[in-house]
Structure 1
Amino acid sequence: MYKILIVEDEPAMQMGLKDNLEFDGYSVDVAGDGPGGLEKIMKNSFDLVLLDVMLPGMSGFDVCRKVRGEGIETPIILLTARGEEIDKVLGLELGADDYVTKPFSVRELLARIKAILRRSSTHDDKTEISGSIMIGRLRLDFQNFQAYEGDDEVKLSHKEFEVLKYLYENRNELVSRYDLLENVWGYQESITTRTVDNFILRLRQKIEEDPGNPHIILTAHGSGYRLIHH
């Protein structure tokens, strides 16, 4: 049985979500503020977290940032009452896996949850890239999500690893921004291609000898990117 944590400060919303998820067969725990949610995520093993953005004590964004900073890769869906693009982009760049904007239908949310749980459980079945791969300045271990420059470990977010892994799996071929959106984030709805571009910029800073004049992750203008690897 999948275990889901709901971090939500509105009692009616918290109870409604809990009832619906339990009815759908999930084991559910709840927290009513940011610090409480963070503590539960750190101390327990959940299959997925529903995390409200506007929380007392600590925002959902800050909870997400701290959780990912600790290397915890539990899938996170942000619940936001605000629909601004900046919130969505910021949330995804902090390492959230998805977001839904209130008001949302429970059926839509359940579909998103199922899709993410399916992705994270089949993730283990994919052909893993074994051993270390050199890409530019970095030596990468995709199985353990570790990156090194020489003997020094370099911090990459889970999503940065996923973007790089997808580019490597399709090395020397053109990968469109929409391919990346669909395969790394799982669906295209409302996420801007700017998110992809921001990730590529960050990866170049870590991989390229001269990020301003890239030789490894090349831009195909208007269409996408190509990872050059021999």
Structure 2
Amino acid sequence: MGQSWRRVLPATWRSDILAGLSLAFTNIPQVLGYARIAAMPAVTGLYTVLLPLAGFALFGSSKHLVVAADSATAAILSGSLSALAPLGSAHYITLVSATTLIVAGLLLVARLFRLGFLADFLSRTVLIGFMTGVGLQIMIAMLHELIGVQTDAHNPILQLAQTVANLHHANGVSACLAAGTVGVILLLNHFCSRFPTALCVVVGSIVLSKYIGLSRFGVSTLGPVSGGLPHVRLPVIG
């Protein structure tokens, strides 16, 4: 049986299958996190991991570059639109839809006029500073959820201050689970770089949540996610 399996799936195919599974198990929780950062329903994160890939395969000019959601754009989106509408409200979701359509139109124009060379004028120092700042903002925004602390501020500085002030309300199980997850990822990536760390961590967390019932210990879980395809319609904004 083992020999026949190897004849059917050459070594490169087996590596591709493992890479595909690892990418899928990494991307799914990743885009759910992006949706959380952008203050959007969780199902929109799943849309961003499926529909943009198909669109870029049809209209993209690069075989290696993929345009999709990421933490930086999610943080910028929520930070910009939070002044116009309450996060998560129907008006906020409409504004997000309008913004994404505008960005898609600008990307299409840039593609038609071959404006990719403009990226050459961006300073590497500025880009590093920008990505560092966005990373710190996201880390602060997610810190209170990692340890189970409630905050009502959207400003990163106020969020950090409230998180530190409410540390005595932190959920011990949530904090240990977060620290263990980060520690396992860092250690395995350092000592076993070829090991599918993200795949194992995601599968392990799903098993723990299902069979141990982490929600019973106060750990916040995603819960049911609505299914189906998005309703295609133009957003109406004032």
Give TM-score scaled by structure 1 length.
Answer: 0.23
Q: 1 or 2 for the larger relative contact order (CA 8 Å, sep ≥6)?
A: 2
More strand by share: 1
Decide which structure has the larger Cα Rg and report it.
2
